[in-house]
Structure 1
Amino acid sequence: MDVGVRLFTWLNGRLVGEDAYGNRYYVHKAGRQRDGREMRWVLYKGMAEASKVPPDWHAWLHHFTDALPDAQPITRFGWQKEHMPNLTGTRYAYRPPGHVLQGGKRERATGDYEPWTPA
């Protein structure tokens, strides 16, 4: 992680919460504002990847809500899936049948498709 960000956070940040992934969320302890709104930021655990921020914390970071996700009950519906970071570029990425890293072979196409052949 960038040394400057860590130093800025140590000098100016007040920890307000942490998510299930270990990301830590901060506000400016002196109440400093940017564009008329409270400064908020996140220090990622591990590699900085924006998709690691769960939706409830994303809403707080972007000022959709002022209530901290830790401080309010969040309504979850049966159709909602658990948050998952973007896995593209990792060994856990989805690779469909026929993908080069899955052997490059796939089953023949079925159905009524017939390739055009010149007469």
Structure 2
Amino acid sequence: MKNFLLQIFVWWHGQTIGTRFFTWRVGRCVGKDQFGNTYYEGGKTSYGLSRRWVIYNGYTDPSSIPPVWHGWIHHRRIDKPSKQEQQNVFDWQKPHRVNLTGSPEAYCPRFRKNVVDEKEENQLPLEYKAWSPSD
């Protein structure tokens, strides 16, 4: 019952009933990415382009769309990404990561001001000299 009510009223836990019905009625599954997001295409927009959308795997987070699928969903490319394009092609390319802001894995500099428990972490390096107007 809880999942049913979440589908009706809450959009950030996945697809709502309206999205599920629209996907069933006009959607054609185009592919999946490495995060389990499913991409659909179907219908026409007012510009004559086909409508494209994504059903997220789990929590709705747009930063979980890899770059090759981002280009497809925004009509920057006509055809869907191939399996070769979805893998790392060059040595310098890193795997796509979702936005970690707000999570424990988020980057936080060593000398941050929001830590009050550990005094040593709040101390600035010794070579730092604060500016004062009398200088």
1:24 Cα shift?
0.0
In angstroms, what is the RMSD of aligned CA positions?
2.4
- 2:61 is aligned to 49
What one-letter code is carried by the residue in structure 2 that aligns with 1:25?
Y
- 2:105 is aligned to 92
- How many residues of Structure 1 are paired with residues of Structure 2 in the alignment? 115
Q: Is the Cα–Cα contact under 8 Å of residues 17 and 70 in structure 1 kept in the other structure?
A: no
- 1:23 is aligned to 37
Q: Is the Cα–Cα contact under 8 Å of residues 115 and 122 in structure 2 kept in the other structure?
A: no
1:107 Cα shift?
4.2
TM-score (norm 2): 0.72
CA distance 1:90–1:3, shift in 2 (3 Å): farther
Measured in 1, the distance between the counterparts of 2:129 and 2:29 equals 59
Q: Is the Cα–Cα contact under 8 Å of residues 17 and 26 in structure 1 kept in the other structure?
A: yes
- 2:131 is aligned to 115
1:56 Cα shift?
0.5
More helix by share: 2
1:117 Cα shift?
6.0
Sequence identity of aligned pairs in percent?
Answer: 36
Q: Is the Cα–Cα contact under 8 Å of residues 116 and 122 in structure 2 kept in the other structure?
A: no
- Is 1:36 equivalent to 2:52 in the alignment? no
Structure 2's unaligned 5+ residue stretches are 1-13
Measured in 2, the distance between the counterparts of 1:101 and 1:38 equals 50
Measured in 2, the distance between the counterparts of 1:67 and 1:115 equals 57
CA distance 1:61–1:15, shift in 2 (3 Å): same
